[in-house]
Amino acid sequence: MNVIVCVKQIPDPAQPGELDPSDNTLKRDGKLILDESDSYGVEMALQLVGTAGGGEVSLVSMAPNGEVSGLRTALAMGAAKAVLVSDPELAGSDALTTAKVLAEASKRLGDADLIIAGTESSDGYTGTVPEQMAELLGLPSITFAKTVTVDGETLKVERQTEAGYDEVTSTLPAVVSVTAGVVEPRYPSFKGIMAAKSKPVDTVTAADLGVTPVGWAGAGQQIVDVASAPEREAGEVIEDEGEAHLKIVEFLDKLKVI
Amino acid sequence: MASNIWVFAQGADGAPTSATLELLAKARSLGDGVSAFVLGDAADIAAALGDHGATKVYATGDLGGSLPGAAVASAMKAVIDGGDTPDIIMFPQNYEGRDVVARLSVKLDKPVLTNNTEIEVDGDQVKVTTPVFGGTQLVTTTFTGGGPYLVAFRPKSFVAEAAGGGAPEVVEAPVPDLGATGGATVQAVHVEEHSGPKLDEANIVVSGGRGLGEAGKYEMIETLAKALKGAPGASRAIVDAGWVPYSYQVGQTGKVVKPAVYIAAGISGATQHMVGMKGSKNIIAINKDKEAPIFGVADLGVVGDVHKVLPKLIEALQAR
């Protein structure tokens, strides 16, 4: 079974995010890391291929620069190869353009049985790319998967819903978006990290894939204003010395909710 | 003014969902011709949709187990191809809304803007506002090409209000043959029972986080919520850790809540969580780290150990 995982390299979420004042998009020029929400997809793909007893996990990713450190993390976990669409023209691309680029990039990897993506990235969180890719590729899709198994030619998924979860089956190939916490991503071993350095990363441009226009030119949207939101004022902060619960009761009493 | 606005509509238990009614209220303020596009059968909810301002209701009918993304988007595309072209289509930012708007964006080759909390029509420009960085900054974006403009809104961005409209015209919008894209079907539905009021409708919400230390301690949150006739909630950290089901999660990828009182116990206040609860009228936070970001938005902050404060609080409330 061959599985493609869409991964995103994002600015380290531990660092405060910042908008570039020249074009109001998220600054992505520093060091990029593997989006944690994609590590679940990589892990799930590795497990599915392991269970199937054959095949491999491939990655597709896109970045406005040639950054590969996040991809190397996923390769070190056990993915076999990657296609990186690296192109300065991609800066400013919207979700639809991103989906077009990733759909075309995935075709370079040949026929896959399954394409896995995270539910939403941790930096842009538009959350539409997996479903858009599925439509572009003419495939069924199941979003918000919390378990994924393959039984012969049938995909079985438990899909989160507002009220609980649905059991969903699908034909293959298909696109699945997985939620965080579905599996425990493995830590790359030393051997894996060393091996990742020589795994193939096919670097292409958007034009190589035939997707034009991209970036600002392809985005049907433009940021016109960025403003600070009204601040919520912090109230009283007290240290608990054994009586803080009374203060809470008093507060609730004043609001007439008890 | 826009003259043709669609709202993606859903029903539950014989009534339109609150997200549907919120969007209808906003749609009315943007223009006159408001249509509701219903996932499923409209018989039960058409009158209520009309009362909230929809003059026309399209309904896909029963989806027969198909997931809504490809099915509803195809039905919408068929209506648009048939000659009814909306200026704007408004979606709720939920599972179904997000899947449908994504599929439709490809079918129409139009961009989609998600996570919005406001929309404004300025001449022939449509502008939407999205909070970023945990709601500290507001980004306003406009579409540069032609419509239909596809926009998704976070729950509770607008206030639902009946308009006293009459019965709408109901038009069938059947799902065309989906081919391979219709390969995914729902086999069984599981509902996780929640005791007390629903999380996103409760007047009081009590949420627990990693600071509780272990799964077993979540019981304190449920007991406190019950004592306050509120709903228990959770941070993403403890949902990911498997302590409570996903349906308890408050935050960007969970539910957005705006109760009269929100109590955060053992929650530090990650951006992901704050987005889901910052709109609460009053916030009480209990956390042992006095530097925790949650104190920056709390009306009453208690720097202390939840294992000490919560039992005493529960006892005091139960004694009343």
- CB neighbourhood size of A180 (10 A): 22
Here the tokens at position B223 are: 């007991």
Which of B73, B305, B317 faces A249 most closely, judged by CB atoms?
B317
B204-318 CATH: 3.40.50.1220
A 43-102 residues inside an 8 A Cβ radius of B: 94-96, 99
Class assignment of domain B5-182?
Answer: alpha beta
CATH 3.40.50.620 fits A3-218, yes or no: yes
- Find out whether B221 and B286 touch, Cβ atoms under 8 Å: no
Chain A residues in contact with B102 by the CB 8 A cut-off are 95, 127-132, 135
Prediction pTM value: 0.87
CB-based contact A94 B182, cutoff 8 Å: no
For residue range A92-139, list pLDDT tens digits in order. 788 999 999 999 999 999 889 999 998 876 666 678 999 999 999 999
Question: Domain limits of chain A?
Answer: 3-218
Nearest to A128 among B98, B139, B183 (CB): B98
What radius of gyration do chain B's Cα atoms show? 21
Least confident of A3-12, A41-50, B13-22, B56-65: A3-12
The structural domains of chain B, with segments of one domain joined by +, span 5-182, 204-318
**What residues of chain B lie within 8 A of the CB of A183, using their CB?**
none
Reference B27, options B7, B9, B11; nearest CA is B7
Task: Supply the pLDDT for residue A20.
Answer: 79
Residue A126 token pair: 């538009």
Q: Is the pLDDT of residue A180 over 80?
A: no
Residues from chain B contacting residue A141 (CB–CB below 8 Å): 67, 69-70, 99, 181, 184
ipTM above threshold 0.90: no
User: What is the per-residue DSSP string for B56-102?
Assistant: EEEE-B--TTB-HHHHHHHHHHHHHHTT---SEEEEESSHHHHHHHH
Distance from CA of A38 to the nearest CA of B (A): 14
The answer to which of A211-220, A241-250, B57-66 has the lowest mean pLDDT is A211-220
Distance CA A258, CA A250 (A): 10
As to burial, measured by CB atoms within 10 angstroms (0-12 exposed, 13-18 middle, 19+ buried), residue A227 is: exposed
Q: Determine whether the interchain pair A226/B140 forms a contact, defined as Cβ–Cβ distance below 8 Å.
A: yes
Q: CB neighbours of B311 closer than 8 A, spacing ≥ 6?
A: B220
Give the model's pLDDT for residue A124: 62
- Tell me which chain B residues have a C-beta less than 8 angstroms from the C-beta of A16: 133
Cβ pair B99:A119 closer than 8 A: no
* Tens of each residue's pLDDT in chain B, 320 residues: 578 999 999 999 899 999 999 999 999 999 889 999 999 999 999 999 999 999 999 999 999 999 999 999 999 999 999 999 999 999 999 889 999 999 999 999 999 999 899 999 988 889 999 887 767 788 999 998 888 999 999 888 999 999 999 999 999 999 999 999 999 999 999 987 766 788 988 999 999 999 999 999 999 999 999 999 999 999 999 998 889 988 899 998 788 899 999 999 999 998 889 989 988 999 999 999 999 999 999 999 999 999 999 999 999 999 98
Three-state DSSP at A204 gives strand
Rounded mean pLDDT, A184-210: 94
Q: State the count of interchain CB pairs (< 8 A) between A and B.
A: 261
Encoding tokens for residue A247? Answer: 């203060």
